[in-house]
Structure 1
Amino acid sequence: MKKFITILLIISSFGVEAQNIISGYVTSTKGDSLPGVSVYIKNTYDGTSTNAKGFFSFKTAVNGSQFLVAQSVGYKNQELAVNLNESPLQIEIQLKEAIDQLNAVTITAGAMEASDENKAVVLKPLDIVTTPSAMGDIIGAFQTLPGTSTVGNDGRLFVRGGDASETAIFIDGLQVGNAFGTTASNVPTRTRFSPNLFKGSFFSTGGYSAEYGQALSSALALNTVDIPLRSQGDVSIMSLGGGYIQTLVGKNNSITASANYFDLSPYQSLIKQNFDWERSPYGWDFSVAGTQKVGNGGFLKAYFQKESNGLKLWQKQPGDTGRGNLIGIKNDYTYAQSNIKLIGQNNWSYTAGISYSDNFDQFDLSGQKVNQRSRLIHAKGVAIKDFSDAISLKTGLESTWSIFEESLVNEGLTRDFLDQRYNVFVESDYYLSNQLIFRGGVRSGYSILGDELWVDPRASVSYKFEHEGQLSFAYGRFSQLPMDKFRVLNNSLGNTEAEHFILNYFISKKGRTFRAEAFHKSYDNLITFSGSNLAPENISLSGTGYAKGMDFFYRDRKSIKETDFWVTYSFVDSKRKFDSFETQVQPSFAPKHNASIVAKHFVSALQSQIGMSFSFNDGYVFTNPNLAGEQNSKTKSFQDLSLSWSYLPKPNLIIHLACSNVLGRDNIFGYQYASQPNESGLVPGMPIAQGAPRFLFMGIFLTLSKDKTANQLNNL
């Protein structure tokens, strides 16, 4: 009996030791009670969960110094040192919100990003090539986005009152020189690069990252595909020519080679043209791209493209009854780049690369032969460090060589310049929470030719609401050296400058995206000159201006079955004193009202996708010398309805048909006037019109691969 009592006493003493009590409350850093939080002694099973009021209480047999752990989804784990010999304990615990990169707020002011990683997708590569009015051109698709203006006689990208030269294009972070094909005045051009190269894009309408420079209005950053899905061959037979692409994919590498040829002569002999062609546009291109995986998640990439093209065109002159001036153009272009991405230790990553652009033009201007050559070499290194899930740093160093030369062949006269620029940038993202992010950065540069040093600050902040919409604000100062044609005449020219203020609201939820943005942009040191654009004199940086307004974007993939559509509207109030204008005027490339609608519907029964796009602006201003003042007249509104049809009789065979300006509207982009008045005392003029009432395109795309379901959807 005594032995039994002793055992009971021992058990009783253990029961007394098990009465250590821990209780308390768990709240967020905002003071909100947090229910369902797991609270326990580290390396034991002793613990509990908080109730609806954030309260917890449990008993433990553990003694001495221990760690109390609190953890909950969406919050950082918290460990507190406790002394259980001081039981009972009353603990107050605060949990900090964990930054979830998939659900956290992002910077959206002035930015439209489309990539495999980013949830705020605006335009994927497939969207770019299936927009009917784009005719497979990257820029044609981006012209349906907010902030852009359609300038039908040019074809380049005009953003928020800015000239096309104010937009810079980058591939894998490296600047591309002469990204658009050379053409005659009032003959629209296209980008040189195929949409198939790219997996995603970052299109800025202003306020862009400190990583990019030499662009007053916009940066378009395109990211190439890492490794394609499969080995395949792609045959293209088109109304304008044809081509072939061969892709070979290994376990850790890939190589893609393509060759294309086009000649518009057969097409333009069948379709009525408003242009008087002596030799329709023609050309060929060849490219090769290779990728090799390196290290843990790194890539080594190389790309080379060579192309050659030309045209001859009679350009009628105002007041002239003849065919006008004969313009001949022969263009040769080379682009090459190589870059590497490496994942380092301690959350460091590195990218480095170099690009080379070489554009050589031979002009024959009614017997006057002019040669121009422009080369750009851009070398860049970037380091990125994630200090935590809340703080990251990006810093980089760049060097750019610009070489320009032009010559009058008949006279044996030549002029040129060489400039080397150095840039340093640093930028940091700081997540204060999943709802609030701040980005600050600065970009500095120095030009040897202009002997000028500049520093441009950039800053953005964004707040995400509970309904998942977010409000962003961005500020930035941007510098850009003048175009080569001015710098070769005046080597000492410094930077033109712009300052951006942007307020943005953005929400993307359940297949629907809405974006609204207000902006104000001011210009300083714009190029001004006397004389004509072809022979400028007294070039200086005395121009000023502004652009302000708002734009809206709505995209919907859910409301209508098998249908994807987006609607865009932009209002731009822009005036600037530039070129040879003596006062601040509305530029001809900046219509006040711009709108577009794009819709794509898949008809399963017909194995077809039907596309429609409609573009509108309120017309282009121009100067009529027969009236007083500058930019004193305006054309009627621009309107273009384009349709497309894509038929898939087999998974690997696509037949694509597209037509622009289906209604045949006679769009006018301005007027060209003679230099002298006629006998009546009036200066004769003629409209700058479309090259043809409409443009028709037909293509047959065949994919050859082991996987018979592989196709060329990205080539539509």
Structure 2
Amino acid sequence: MNPKLLLFFLLFLLQTTGNAQVLLSGRVLDEKNRPLPGVNVYIKGSFDGSSTDTEGKFSFTTSEKGTQLIVFSMMGFSSQEQVITLGEKEVSLPDVFLGEEFNQLNAVTISAGAIEASDEKKSVILRPLDIVTTPSAMGDIVGAFQTLPGTSTVGNDGRLFVRGGDASEVGIYIDGMRVGNAYGTTAGNVPTRTRFNPNLFKGTFFSTGGYSAEYGQALSSALALNTKDLAIRSQGDLSVMSVGGGYSHTLANEKRSLTVSGNIFDLKPYQNLVKQDFDWERAPYGVDLEVAAQQKTAKGGLWKILARTEKGGMELWQAQPGIEGRGVLIDLTNTYSYAQTNWRKAYQSGWSLFAGLSYSHNTDLINLDGVNLKRTNQLTHGKFSAVYDFTEKISANNGVEYFRNDYQEALVLEGFKRNFGENQLYLYSEWDLYLSQNLVFRGGFRAGTSTLADQNWLDPRASLAYKISENGTLSLATGRFQQMPPENFRVLNPALQNTVSEHLILNYLYQKEGRTFRAEAFHKSYDKLIRFEGIPQNPQNLRNEGEGFARGFDVFFRDRETLKNTDYWVTYSFVDSKRSFNQFTTQVQPDFAPRHNLSVVVKHFVVPMKSQLGLSWSFNDGLTYTDPNLPGEMNSKTGTFQNLSLSWSYLPRPNLIIHGAVTNVLGHENIFGYSFAQNPNEQGQFESLPIGQGAPRFLFLGIFFTISKDKNANQLNNL
């Protein structure tokens, strides 16, 4: 052997034997004291280490000395580091326990009563794009949500009705702030729409019950709309429609964006072409202006501003049963303004802060057959919330809210007015505990106080979800929910207390590869509902004496995988609801709660035609009403409601969209009830007139053109 090579090996062996080896040993267990095999155990910054055996034991030698970090890591479990001191002696470590790693993408989420609708969520049920392209919705946010489980279509109203509850029992929020008068003001039996354009929003959260303690003062549901953060580009959007037109312009860079929009609509030209069943003196018209701004603040914060103002009106003759002629003339003018600002920021320390302030102002001027009524609503909402992640398994959401509500009614010519103003203060706290990757518990409360009603209350809420398979989750939610009565009742009796509802919901959710199946059973009890004598237009002796219930189930299935270029969903809801409320002395099925509700939505993209074809069909088994010619209350029922709608969206160029839609293609005669004369005729019968649709069907045509440096940009890019 080469002498130099031999000398090298001798020196190497002497050096190795000179560095004494220390034996490290121990055991690694999971949170249930079970051995964890296959855990990697090593000294950080060295090559010394090993893995645990089937009993969770490990041992290895190292020549490292002094203070060292020993690391324990295994896929699916949270890594752990320990400080050890190495000397000349053997080191036997105490048992090490590794907790299951929490992964936001794979962890179970609570789905009872909740329908997420955001591109950022794994559970995508309804996106902003779906709102625009659902044929029966005609671009209305609520119109699209009426195809989802738990909702009912009340064709002569247009608002959102959820699981046997009145539309006033649904709270609507934008970026966490309550919106006052979210629907446009309209005449009786003329359906309304939400005021806000779906292009504003990046996603929504829709609850059919059992919702978070962060949202309150709504007996049935919370609909939370979340605006976009930053616009993706500068562009202009021009729209020309059969009912009006508008223009929107956006300026954007990496740190801030500003969008200014203006729209005008007037149904008069349309109604001159298409025969109407309503007797319009002046078709509905309106104009609006909207500003939305976003600004990134220092170190990752985001500040938003949204402001909107609008004005519109209509004049309509409403025939009266038993009276000849055109009937009563209703002249309505509405002005509305809404503004809000909010700021949010997430910190590396685990804190996420939110602060917001909003203001709504609504004025209605109504001339009812020569009687001038002025009605004014104002709502101010301030909110601060703080979310803190104590660990990856424990999170708390705490907040405080303040509401100022002012309402006034006035007979202008007579100089008579009545009003009220009140302050409400709320505190809420809600905790999420991820007990494992498959089990999560949420518990909390919402406390409130009202200066006008002189009332304090505390509402507990709790939810539990268990992941029973890779794609299936079982959830349970319960809680108490309270809501002050409508303003037109409170102005007559300011001492009215909260109405109360308790929810119990069992939910199963299955999601896999573009398919969603959702089944939910529910029970709601009602207490302290408002009752009165007389008629709703002139109630007397208002009091909290009503009660009732709503129970049933709904199923939802959506599939975007089976059929190429096709997305469809099917919804069925069964609601058994009865309540003693308003002028009713017994428990009756409300006229806004049909028992059977079914909807089908299909969208198919035809590539050679550059077109998306849409179909939606809605059905319910009819609405109850009271026929004074028969004994009892809510003793009659209308025929079934049916609406088959079709749409065609054509993209001849990327920045040009031509969209057409028609509702009630088959011309089904939908009747929503009957209005009866106040007094019987000579034969002792109360004459009646049907409450129906404004026209057999509605047709819409729109052309949408985008101006941008990016020639592929269009309005759909923002949805």
**Are 1:690 and 2:714 counterparts?**
no
**Are 1:532 and 2:535 counterparts?**
yes
Q: How much has 1:17 moved relative to structure 2?
A: 6.6
Alignment of 1:73-152 (within 5 A): 73-80=75-82, 87=90, 89=92, 92-152=95-155
Give the whole-Å Cα distance in 2 for the aligned partners of 1:647 and 1:285: 27
Alignment of 1:308-319 (within 5 A): 308-319=311-322
**Are 1:647 and 2:645 counterparts?**
no
For the 8 Å contact 1:612–1:644, the answer to whether it is kept is: yes
Q: Which residue in 1 is equivalent to 2:62?
A: 60
SS class of match (1:206): coil
Q: Which residue in 2 is equivalent to 1:11?
A: 13
**Are 1:263 and 2:270 counterparts?**
no
Q: How much has 1:260 moved relative to structure 2?
A: 0.6
Q: Which residue in 1 is equivalent to 2:39?
A: 37
For the 8 Å contact 1:378–1:401, the answer to whether it is kept is: yes
Q: Which residue in 2 is equivalent to 1:502?
A: 505
* TM-score using structure 2 length: 0.95
Q: Which residue in 1 is equivalent to 2:51?
A: 49
Q: Aligned to 1:28, which of 30, 48, 62?
A: 30
Give the whole-Å Cα distance in 2 for the aligned partners of 1:167 and 1:689: 25
Q: Aligned to 1:385, which of 383, 388, 391?
A: 388
Give the whole-Å Cα distance in 1 for the aligned partners of 2:204 and 2:72: 41
Q: How much has 1:683 moved relative to structure 2?
A: 1.0
Q: Which residue in 2 is equivalent to 1:599?
A: 602
Whichever residue aligns with residue 108 of structure 1, its letter is: S
Give the whole-Å Cα distance in 1 for the aligned partners of 2:366 and 2:18: 99
Q: How much has 1:435 moved relative to structure 2?
A: 1.1
For the 8 Å contact 1:129–1:715, the answer to whether it is kept is: no
Q: How much has 1:571 moved relative to structure 2?
A: 0.8
Q: Aligned to 2:249, which of 234, 246, 250?
A: 246
Whichever residue aligns with residue 665 of structure 1, its letter is: H
Q: Which residue in 2 is equivalent to 1:303?
A: 306
For the 8 Å contact 1:196–1:714, the answer to whether it is kept is: no
Aligned-residue sequence identity (percent) comes to: 59
Q: Aligned to 2:436, which of 428, 433, 437?
A: 433
Alignment of 1:149-168 (within 5 A): 149-168=152-171
* TM-score using structure 1 length: 0.96
Q: Which residue in 2 is equivalent to 1:634?
A: 637
Name structure 1 gaps, 5 residues minimum: none
Q: Which residue in 1 is equivalent to 2:573?
A: 570
Q: Aligned to 1:169, which of 169, 172, 175?
A: 172
SS class of match (2:326): coil
Deviates more, 1:156-165 or 1:351-360: 351-360
Q: Aligned to 1:677, which of 676, 680, 685?
A: 680
Q: How much has 1:684 moved relative to structure 2?
A: 1.1
For the 8 Å contact 1:242–1:262, the answer to whether it is kept is: yes
Give the whole-Å Cα distance in 1 for the aligned partners of 2:411 and 2:84: 85
SS class of match (2:289): strand
Q: Which residue in 1 is equivalent to 2:550?
A: 547
SS class of match (1:153): coil
Give the whole-Å Cα distance in 1 for the aligned partners of 2:669 and 2:222: 32
Q: How much has 1:64 moved relative to structure 2?
A: 6.8
Q: How much has 1:311 moved relative to structure 2?
A: 0.5
Give the whole-Å Cα distance in 2 for the aligned partners of 1:391 and 1:307: 44
Whichever residue aligns with residue 39 of structure 1, its letter is: V
Q: Which residue in 1 is equivalent to 2:73?
A: 71
Whichever residue aligns with residue 320 of structure 1, its letter is: I
Q: How much has 1:543 moved relative to structure 2?
A: 0.3
Q: Count residues in correspondence.
A: 714
SS class of match (2:608): helix
**Are 1:411 and 2:414 counterparts?**
yes
Give the whole-Å Cα distance in 2 for the aligned partners of 1:110 and 1:5: 78
Deviates more, 1:49-58 or 1:430-439: 49-58
Q: How much has 1:415 moved relative to structure 2?
A: 0.6
> Once the two structures are superposed, what CA deviation does each residue of 1:407-457 show, in whole Å capped at 9, x if it has no partner?
112211111111111111111111112211111111111111111111111
Alignment of 1:220-235 (within 5 A): 220-235=223-238
Distance 1:492 1:511, change over 3 A: same
Deviates more, 1:16-25 or 1:241-250: 16-25
Q: Which residue in 2 is equivalent to 1:332?
A: 335
For the 8 Å contact 1:195–1:714, the answer to whether it is kept is: no
Q: Aligned to 1:322, which of 322, 325, 329?
A: 325
Give the whole-Å Cα distance in 1 for the aligned partners of 2:74 and 2:143: 48
Q: Aligned to 1:712, which of 708, 712, 715?
A: 715
Q: Aligned to 1:197, which of 182, 195, 200?
A: 200
**Are 1:284 and 2:260 counterparts?**
no
> Once the two structures are superposed, what CA deviation does each residue of 1:38-96 show, in whole Å capped at 9, x if it has no partner?
21123321112346775645443346775432102221112356676554858754321
Distance 1:269 1:540, change over 3 A: same
Give the whole-Å Cα distance in 1 for the aligned partners of 2:603 and 2:396: 40
Give the whole-Å Cα distance in 2 for the aligned partners of 1:133 and 1:636: 20
Alignment of 1:388-467 (within 5 A): 388-467=391-470
Q: How much has 1:388 moved relative to structure 2?
A: 1.4
Whichever residue aligns with residue 71 of structure 2, its letter is: V
> Once the two structures are superposed, what CA deviation does each residue of 1:179-212 show, in whole Å capped at 9, x if it has no partner?
0000011100000000011111110101111111
Q: Which residue in 2 is equivalent to 1:213?
A: 216
SS class of match (1:296): helix
SS class of match (2:581): coil
Give the whole-Å Cα distance in 2 for the aligned partners of 1:711 and 1:33: 57
Distance 1:245 1:52, change over 3 A: farther
For the 8 Å contact 1:296–1:343, the answer to whether it is kept is: no
Distance 1:610 1:55, change over 3 A: farther
For the 8 Å contact 1:129–1:714, the answer to whether it is kept is: no
Give the whole-Å Cα distance in 2 for the aligned partners of 1:468 and 1:422: 41
Whichever residue aligns with residue 376 of structure 2, its letter is: R
Q: How much has 1:302 moved relative to structure 2?
A: 1.0
Distance 1:21 1:363, change over 3 A: same
SS class of match (2:275): coil
For the 8 Å contact 1:126–1:714, the answer to whether it is kept is: no
Whichever residue aligns with residue 187 of structure 2, its letter is: A
Whichever residue aligns with residue 203 of structure 2, its letter is: G
For the 8 Å contact 1:295–1:343, the answer to whether it is kept is: no
Q: How much has 1:595 moved relative to structure 2?
A: 1.1
Give the whole-Å Cα distance in 2 for the aligned partners of 1:65 and 1:244: 68
> Once the two structures are superposed, what CA deviation does each residue of 1:484-515 show, in whole Å capped at 9, x if it has no partner?
10010001111111111111111222111111
Give the whole-Å Cα distance in 2 for the aligned partners of 1:359 and 1:548: 35
Q: How much has 1:346 moved relative to structure 2?
A: 2.4
For the 8 Å contact 1:162–1:590, the answer to whether it is kept is: yes
Whichever residue aligns with residue 213 of structure 1, its letter is: G
Give the whole-Å Cα distance in 1 for the aligned partners of 2:18 and 2:90: 12
Give the whole-Å Cα distance in 2 for the aligned partners of 1:560 and 1:466: 25
Q: How much has 1:9 moved relative to structure 2?
A: 11
Distance 1:16 1:29, change over 3 A: farther
Q: RMSD between aligned alpha carbons?
A: 2.2
